[in-house]
Amino acid sequence: MLAVIQKWGNHQGLSFTPEMLNQAQLSLGDEVFITVRQGEIIIKPTVQGKGKYTLAELVAQMPSDYNPHEEEWGKSVGKEVW
């Protein structure tokens, strides 16, 4: 695929198609490690594949004394509906 480097604010960037991200097993928000080797830019995922964590793994990391509660954010200041 031919791509053009474009200016995005103070940076330059490339756009990836959803198919390319899917083939690389990457999703929006995934972290990647970027290196330059012998004039080539190499992009690798920091964690292999989708589904980095299961819900059970995340829950297992919660402290045993965790007590969820509702936060008080104050009065509405705009068009929020609570």
Q: What CA–CA distances, in Å, run from 71 to 3, 59, 62, 74, 75?
A: 46, 20, 18, 9, 12
What are the pLDDT digits (tens) for 16-57?
A: 999 999 898 888 888 899 999 999 999 988 865 556 678 888
Question: Tens of pLDDT along 52-76?
Answer: 678 888 899 999 999 988 988 888 8
DSSP one-letter string for 18-79? HHHHHHTT--TT--EEEEEETTEEEEEESS-SS--S-HHHHHHTS-TT---------S--SS
What ranges do the domains of the chain cover?
6-60
* 6-60: in CATH 3.40.190.10: no
Residue bearing tokens 């200041």: 77
